[in-house]
A and B are shown apart, each in its own frame.
Chain A
Amino acid sequence: MNHTPENWGRPRDDIYGFYDKSFLQNTGGAQQHTTRPVVTGTSVVALKYNGGVVMAADNLASYGSLARFTDIKRIKQVGDHTIVGAGGDISDMQYLFDKLLESVLIKEEYQNDGHALRAPHIYSYLARVLYNRRCKFNFLWNSILVAGYDDEKKPFLASADLLGTRFSSPALASGYGAQLAIPILRKIAPDEASVTKITKEQAIEAIKLCMKVLFYRDARSMNKYSLAVISEEGVDLTHGVALENESWKFAETVRGYGAQTV
């Protein structure tokens, strides 16, 4: 006799014959968790500079190989000087951004006591949420970057993913960005000391270059993205920034994939 929860209250096969369970949502176990991401966003890239952080993420949400939505905002401003960028499952990202973060911010606002959550606090919270969910085998399928200022008012940039893994670095990128953008960014920001020599303009330029390289090579990317610049004045977050000086000239020189004759 099958005693698993989905059989509770169902007619017994040995008496009433085979019960057609095909209408049931899941037949594998009691509760189904997310086992794969569905609609996804690709890389998020970010770089610290002297006095702040620059971050970018494109506006595409893919459904497998289908470019499903082209106006998705994957960077959220959280408070005066903090931003969060997310890749991975878009619905999980929107749950994080619109449900969890929003309610945390509202609760904080209601206290009205002069305190505000800043980047390290938001990061700590999100990393804990992601880790708690992975411990329940119920992943929030994202990889996130949090940028802002730390308690000493120095630029802050850190990463957390669906497993709850956390780390920090002067230049960070998730997804394909870890392969394609990081080498570009580490060239100008190999360590924390080098950050003080990078200007805001240089940082923006480097991030824009990364977005271009990613668009050239990442098949799940697009040429329109959100760009966020954190400076002491606050967050300058622009959605729908178009890729500049795009050129596919290099493509003709690429060898090794198709049936080239030479």
Chain B
Amino acid sequence: MAYLHTANIISDFPPSHHHHTSAGPFVQHQITPYTNNGGTILGITGEDFVVLAGDTRHSEGYSINSRTEKKVHRLGKESSLVLATVGFGADALDVVETMKRAVEDYKFHHNKEMSPPAAAQLLMTILYSNRFFPKYAYCILVGIHAGKGVLYSYDVVGSYSKSGERRAAAGAASDLIVPFLDNQVELKNQYVPYAWEEEIPVQPLPMEKVRRLVKDAFTSATERHIQVGDGLQIITVAASGVGWGVSEEMYELKKD
């Protein structure tokens, strides 16, 4: 069994705080409480909407556990909050469960939906409260706040930017996707043709463009990264005038 000879897949993270050294000539078998289940998540905001996506491959080492495990979760039936988690699957799901429960509890006690800034701070608290035995879950939280799409991204111990971000990617292929977003969303290194070093101004992208970028990012990541593929779950949260809507699109990715 693979786990009987546990390979230290995540040797760099987290730094093991659980050192047992046996006196004998044998190296004692050591289990890690973490594993890496691969996958990637990606979020991009527009003016009055936000898109959050994740592939549906769930893997461990070279094995594909499942091709249909979703990483993007709505936090409440009537809430605009959507949370995507990636990293160690069990921790990731636990963070989602904890958040869902908190959002539900909040509604019971205050008779209104939790706002994205409140949820963002709560998520930071949850992650940081596990500072010395971290939940190995990289998170991207999105929602609609005051008619605008907002996005927050976190490291595993909860650091995030209170003012939110325009876009974020996390997980296995984030290294591949982030530079692509720099170029396509932040328009880094893009200049007006035939003009002398005149940068193209950054503007909020239309929804269709964002969805196309998301698909392009994932099809490319699927080509180059073994842990990314199978399916793509794209959730769009839109503040359409008076109300807002949350919609889900499933998009096929290569299964090799």
Contact = CB atoms under 8 A, between A and B. Distances in A.
A131 B89 contact: no
13 contacts: A35-B28, A36-B29, A134-B90, A143-B1, A164-B90, A165-B37, A165-B90, A166-B90, A167-B58, A168-B68, A168-B69, A169-B68, A178-B2
Interface stretch (B59-67, B75-83, B142-150): B59-67
B interface residue count range (under 10 / 10 to 19 / 20 to 34 / 35 or more): 20 to 34
Interface of B: 1-4, 18, 20, 28-31, 33-35, 37, 58, 60, 63, 65-69, 88-90, 93-94, 133
Contacts of A139: 31
Interface of A: 28, 35-37, 40, 42-43, 87-88, 131, 134-135, 137, 139, 143, 159, 161-169, 174-176, 178-179, 182, 191-192
Given A42-B1, A131-B94, A165 B18 contact: no
A137 B33 CA distance: 7
Contact of A163 (B18, B29, B35, B68): B35
Contacts of B93: 166
B29 A40 contact: no
Given A35-B29, A167-B65, A167-B69, A162 B3 contact: yes
A88 B29 CA distance: 15
Nearest to A29: B20
Contacts of B69: 167-168
A166 B91 CA distance: 10
SS of B interface (majority) = loop
Contacts of A191: 67-68
Given A35-B20, A88-B4, A165-B89, 4 more contacts: A40-B4, A134-B33, A165-B90, A178-B2
A178 to B, nearest CB: 5
B3 A35 contact: no
A165 B35 contact: yes
B252 to A, nearest CB: 10
A166 B89 contact: yes
A163 to B, nearest CB: 6
Contact of A168 (B3, B18, B66, B94): B66
Nearest to A191: B67
A131 B29 contact: no
Contacts of A37: 4
A163 B93 CA distance: 12
Nearest to A27: B23
B89 A167 contact: yes
Nearest to B89: A165
Contacts of A176: 1
Nearest to A169: B66
